[in-house]
Structure 1
Amino acid sequence: MYKMLIAEQEEEYIEIISEYTSQPAKGIEVVGYPKSGSEVLRLVSELTPDILIISVALQGISGLEVVRRLRKHNSEISIIMLSEYDYYDFIRESINYGVADYLLKPVKKNDLIHVLDRVLDELRQRDLFKEEMRTDKRIRSQIYEFADYSFIYSFLWNGKMDGEIKRYQSLFNLGNRGYVLNLEIVSLGAECVLSMEKDKSILYQTIKDILSDKHVCVVGPVIGNRIIIYISESTQEENYKEHIQLANKLCAEMKRCLNMEVKIGVGNTKKLEAIHDSYEEAIKSLRYKEKGNVIHVNDVLFNSASHNDYITVENKMLQSIKYGKDESLDLFSEILDMLKPLNIDARKNKLFELLVLACHEARMQGENEADNLNYYDFLREVENASWKEVEEKVYRHFEYIIKAIRTSRSDRKSDVVKEALQYINEHFQGELTLDDVSNYVGVTPQHFSKIFKEETGFNYVEWLTNLRIEKAKEYLMEGNKTIKEICYLVGHNDPNYFSRLFKKTVGKSPSEFIKLDKEGLSNSH
């Protein structure tokens, strides 16, 4: 919907324009009929119209002077001037100020309509171009994000360096050395509007914005509550003080921008081909997070793990595997570090034992793909393998087991709840009560309420509210609908109630959320 101001006093022209704008297909809303030049300036500032139809002869400040002042601060508003003056200087000056057209009175109805059609078409073309540009930027941002994730997966976790270094150095403009930050999200403040599951790209871009002003960095995906960040270095020296300062800055900015409390482990600078060592150091550092928000590997002393320490971490890992949690991989890495004092055969034996225990936990969760693991084949594969190869194979098996457990837990939802969730997703835009959904799936409301809470962890109203709020956030981030329109699109009938509910759920009002998203996009470009 385009907004129009009509600064014209002759009823004949007001009627023509009103008749034109009353057509729904035009998508124009008249937001004011100012009579004086000063009133035009005030309303343009307050209402930000897209189209201004203005007469040269206004009360007080002339229409031409109004246009001159507007163009100092507003280059986008489309202006149509109506004038009794057939003066060359007037026409030339208005053209210099970028008016869409200068029409001499008396204006024929068809001429005015033709100009309005042209201006409206230009506005639509402009908005289409802007949307295409935004889409292009989003696509480019997604490509860079995917490339960052690929680097982290390949180099830090899988250690696959051969033939890849030069390509990534060229792509990211990386130096030959760098170090790793292991960022752990400790808590989300009450004012935090981000969802850890659904707003990962915003989190990724925020970290890039904080670090990229002076550093070349690669930011990994959110895994559980951890994010791995690689910082490229151009010097050969270990700059401990600068690394600590950068990590402290990141902690402070995450708190300020997103209201997130984070802790960061810092590894030493390594050659690019040995960056996995810096990653392991950053992981180790966070085991000592009680020392502060930023912990450098050089500030902690690693002692040999006791048997009790090992058993504690092993139990935590198996418990995490049971529920398919991402942190189980971090705990597995911690166990690998604990096993280093042992000889390679003893380490292999321990890893095989862990693999059997992990598969047992998977089978206890019900039938899943982890049942297909062939222990005999695995033993043959690692018999003569190096320790690095063994680590990689076992790590991949653990990833496979965790994925299988997640899939199994997801598939165990009852058919009734699955059918209900599908129905809710398809009908949340309208009035949708618990009775409506329970009738659809053919069970009593009491029984449905009980099994829905058991299998989703939410009661029906909480689930529907969260779904509608998440959909509203998506519409708000698209930026092409009003808050009122979004209110109706997500199944609410009262915009004031919707805004209160949004603020209660998200921590910010819809307008505040839009502002945060726009600031994020502006910073990213």
Structure 2
Amino acid sequence: MYKMIIADDEAFVRDTFKMVVNKHFPQVRVVAEAETGREAIEMASEFNPNLMIMDVKMPGINGLQAIYEIKKINSETRFIVLTAYDHFKYAREALSLSVDEYILKPARREKIIEAVSKVLKTIEELRSKKDQELELKEKLSNVLPAMESEFALSMIFGDTERINQMNYPKLLGRTFEAGYSMVLDFNIHDSKNKDIIKGLLNSKVRDFLTMFFNARVSYCIISPVFSNRVAVFFPEDMAYDIDEIGAISIDLARSLVKKIQEEFGTSPFIGVGGIHKGIDGLIESYNEANLAVSSKKQAVSCVDDIEYIKVDASYSFKLERQLCEKVRQFDKDEAIETFKELYFSINPWETQNITNKMCELMVVLARILLDFDMESTANKFFDDMEKKHLMMFDSKQEICEWCISKILQLVNYLADSKSINTEDDIIISAARFIEANYMHEITLEDVAKAVNVSPYYLSKLFKSQMSQNFIDFLTDLRVDAAKKKIPDSNMSIKEICYEVGYNDPNYFTRVFKKVTGQTPLEYRQANKSAGNEGK
């Protein structure tokens, strides 16, 4: 139902418009009439109409002045201007006020119908657009955390191919013209409060970090916890001052350390990377932050605090990903061949520089163990003692041979582990967990934890094994469950909405209609009718 106010100093004109509107537009209700511009403003303030018929020439404040004042109260009210003067001055002023239609007196019935129809169509289109924007915002608010987590994990693993394929910058609404990174290390193995920190990492840390950064920066992306670390990415625009942002990032990190100490009684190490351009630059900043935090020289370290060797462009992240895949498949021969191709593709740096690069590779390989729920083994695979061992080698050949031995050791760990599941086993277990819990609020992280793999790995498995992502799979389950309950159940649509895992009936209705082509009420009516005919 649309609300209309008619403002004209002649009662005959008001009655004429009201009669035409009542006869031809049942969806419109004339809620008030006004004889003066002042009355029109007061009525608009009281009734908040969708549409107003406004005479230009009225006693006191004229119609155009009234429109100007009413738009301050409600910018969404639409106007049809009515005047006996076919004068350019009025037309120009009406256009400046974004008036929708302009009718000359005496108004013919056909012209009134035409003008009102056009304005109602405009209102409907604007409503539809607003609803679509609201629906999009709701959808984004539901999937945005999952998208940000996947993007962060892709950044951590240097997976630019996936970032480009998924077009994360567009999905997240960010250009990533430049930016910097932080890495938090909670140093759980050296801490006296291991249980407290484990609890913090499992349940509170991301919520705490989100609140902390939301109060201090315009936007950032926080990764899931991995190996007792959390990465944070800060996009910036190109109009930045490197020195100023560098100082801000260090102050921000120090404030965070202090806040965590006050809140949880523990102190993380934080590494801060430099500011760089583009996605590749942000990955480079993450590598810098990761290297800085690994030094653990002080609570907050930046790249300038340590001797840092810039990543050489010849290093192939594609080969690194292939190596990880071969290790996951327990293919020793292919893994060694891929490693050799990776190792010898690197420019002939000094031995120390190659050692640093191989340290980073070992950290990446150790994370594979976490995907197979082998945290204890992952922590020992490349601990401080192993790192010291690697740093002692003087020749590139020794480094290469040592790395090959570690890769063979890693494959053996995986192959011998009783906790190994095939990709089919993992995805079946994940599907069963979702089927058993779809009626609750569950996330990709919840499912990954239940099947003992990382969210990043599970996300890839869903796309490769199920040909759809986690959100689509969960939505299909919930809609199928709703379809079973709607026709014969005595439950209301709102009750069914909550029963299948949604907490917003309006959002549930939109999702249901998108999947089935019908609203829940339409679906109930159609299926009840079919059942009655069968009887």
Q: Compute the TM-score of the two structures, normalised by the length of structure 1.
A: 0.46
